[in-house]
Amino acid sequence: MSHVPRVCCDLCNRPISPHGHYIVRMDVFADPQMPAVTSEEIEEADYQAAMKELMEQMKDMSADELQDQVHRRFEFKLCRACQMRFLVNPLGKPRGPIKSGAN
């Protein structure tokens, strides 16, 4: 008899029946689109100085801090109740009355 691992909701920590959960995957990454650059800017750029400055900025950063600057992937298991709450407000932003003129 094989043992089925216990799955708990990553938000509320309630046990979830096998195959009764929802998977939420998130990728957080730097915008891959390059900014507009003119040929004149490319010709005038000092790439060695830019690289030296970048290396100086990075020297005291941990591997995790450096990775966070580029890409981070998350995966969460949610029960049905938490999945429904997540779908209504995926960023967890506060909800309140809408004020006129507010963006």
Per-residue pLDDT of the chain (103 residues; tens, 9 = 90+): 566 678 899 999 999 988 889 999 999 998 888 888 889 988 888 899 989 999 999 999 998 888 888 899 999 999 999 999 999 999 988 876 666 555 4
pLDDT at 14: 95
Q: How many CB atoms lie within 10 A of CB 16?
A: 19
pLDDT at 18: 81
53: left (phi over 0), alpha (psi -120 to 50) or beta: alpha
Residue 12 · residue 75 · CB < 8 Å? no
